[in-house]
Every structure is written in structure tokens, then in C-alpha cells.
Structure 1
Amino acid sequence: MRTPEETVRAVAAGVCRLMRGGLTDAEEAALFDELAACYAEHTDVRHPFQPLGDTPLLSRAALREHFSAGGRPAGVERYDVVDDHVFTTPDPEVVIFEFSYAGVVDGRAFTLPCIFVVRVRDGVIVESRDYVHHVAGARAFGRLPALAAALAATEIAP
């Protein structure tokens, strides 16, 4: 059984492999399964800083769908975890994973800061709050105009 630190690091490493691309269909499907297996059957994963609104991911199946949804950019030359630190808390199930994804897309370097606050029970994630710099991600992958248009078209909730 993985420790909380091993579990969060496994997820980040899997995301890096996925974003780098170059996988066969079978390798990609296996990676989706590996990533989903890092989560409990019933979980609560949220992205509070998602610019277009957070949609909670409440099951392993939803997480697998999230990872397999596509949208991986072409032109990724490098995608790695850097400056990573796992902080323990008084609750042995909860860790804080502070890191950045860093890489190169179409010759342009990027850094995408992240902080995940994660509860791991029996080696799988049961709850996570993933704070990601989504605007930096949109900029890195050439999606800033699309994000701006989507934001302009979205009504602000009261």
C-alpha cells in the first residue's frame, strides 16, 4: 500500500507521462487505469480555481474520464514535476503537495504552479483540492484566447 506522499507523486508522474504524449492507444488506456487506481471508488476531487467553474469528480470512473478526456496539446517537448515538496500535517491521512509542472511546448518554456491538499486512506485518494494556475496553463498551451472567450460568454453566479 502506498503512503500519501507516494500516492500524490504517482498521480503527478502519471499526468506528466500523459501530457508528454507519444503513447500507443494501449499504453494510454493503461495509464488512464493507473491514474484512476490512485483514487478511491468514491472520492471528492475539486479544482476550486477552475476559471469556468468547478465540477466535482466524485468517483474513480469520473477521474478516469477526466484523465482520458483528451485536450492534450500537440508540441509538448517536455513536461515534468519540479520544485516539489510534500508537507505532512497532524492528520496522517492529509498531505500538502506543492510543486510546479514545467516544460516546453512548441519551443516555449512554461511553469504551472500547483498546490494539492490531499487525503489518502488505504493508499488511495479519498479527497483532494487541486489548486492549479489555470491561466498559466492556458497561456502555456496557446489556449488563452479560447479561455478569454469562454469567460466572456459565461454568466457570473451571484
Structure 2
Amino acid sequence: MRTPEETFRALLDGACRLQNGDRDQADRLAGFYAPETDVRHPLAPLGDTPLRSREALRRHFATAGTGTLSGVRVEDVRVHHTADPEVLVGEFTYRGDTGWTAPAVIVFRIRDGLIVESRDYVDHLGLARATGALDALCAQLTARRPTEAH
């Protein structure tokens, strides 16, 4: 069984491999999560849609990595252990060959080597810039009525 830190580091490795075109990573990444989980992206610009199962995460990862990012790597990794042995805070920066960066912090609850809960705080605007999707994101944001916000 992996430790929480080993799970976090393996997840980062798989995410980079997926973004760099290794489509087989989608299943591997989903396998890091418990069958029932609670994954949220509280800072997602269009609202957070919780991912509550390994299968939902498998679908999520299957659609990831199809953008225009290249040479994705993770740098500046810091692991913060907490008083609760299941809770780990991972801090890192995604970087790409074209000079883009996207800092991130993820708070995990990892039980028996599987992620049962996470809160992913990622620089979504930095990723939108990196993929050339910033204009589309701005259009989606300005087209939304205030009552549609989550």
C-alpha cells in the first residue's frame, strides 16, 4: 500500500504523462481514487462540479490531455503533512515548454493508499492561457447570467 505522499507523487507523474499524450494514464489515474470519493475544484471559473466516484474520475481523465499543452512537467513540489495522517497538502507548479506556468495546491484525504477526498486549487486562468482557451473562457463567463453562478 502506498503512503499518502507516494500516492500524491504518483498522481502528479501520471497527470504529466497524460497531458503529454499518454492516454493510458486515464485508467491509471482513476485507480488512485477510492470507488466513492469527493473531488472538488472550488476555484473553477465556471463553477465546481464534484466528482464523486472513480468512474466519474475515469471519464474526467479520459477527456483531459487533449488540449494544446506540450512538455508538461511539475516543479516546486512541496508536501505538507498534517496532524491527521490521512490529510496531506501538496503544493506544486505545472510548467510547459512554451513558458507557461500554473501553480496549484491540492488538499487530499488518502485512506489505505486511495484518495477519498480532495480539494484542487489550480490556476485555471493560467491553464486557459496556456491552451489558448482564455478568450473562450471569457466569453463563457460574460455570457452567464448572475443567477447561473454556482
Which range, TM-score by smaller chain?
over 0.9
| 1:11 match | 11
The answer to whether structure 1 residue 99 and structure 2 residue 92 are counterparts is yes
TM-score of the pair, normalised by structure 1: 0.89
Structure 2 residue 29 is matched with structure 1 residue 39: no
Q: TM-score, normalised by structure 2?
A: 0.94
Is residue 114 of structure 2 the alignment partner of residue 120 of structure 1? no
Note the residue ranges of structure 2 that are not aligned, 5 or more in a row.
none
Q: What do you get for the CA RMSD once the two structures are aligned?
A: 1.3
Residue type of the alignment partner of 1:83:
D
Give ranges in structure 1 of 5+ residues lacking alignment. Answer: none
Count how many residue pairs are aligned between Structure 1 and Structure 2.
148
Q: CA deviation at 1:75?
A: 5.6
Is this contact kept in 2: 1:44–1:59, CA < 8 A?
A: yes
Q: For residue 68 of structure 1, what is the amino acid of its counterpart?
A: A
Letter in 1 for 2:14: G
- Contact 2:20-2:65 at 8 Å conserved across structures: no
Query: Partner letter of residue 25 of structure 2?
Result: L
1:63-102 → structure 2 map (5 Å cutoff): 63-70=57-64, 72-74=66-68, 76=70, 78-102=71-95
Structure having the higher strand fraction is 1
How far off is 1:72 after superposition? 2.1
1:156 shift after superposition = 2.3
Q: Which runs of 4+ in 1 moved over 4 A?
A: none
70 and 120 in structure 1: CA distance in 2 versus 1, 3 angstrom threshold: closer
CA distance in 2, matches of 1:71, 1:31: 10
1:46-95 Cα shifts (integer Å, max 9, x gaps): 0000000000000000000000024622361x111100001000000000
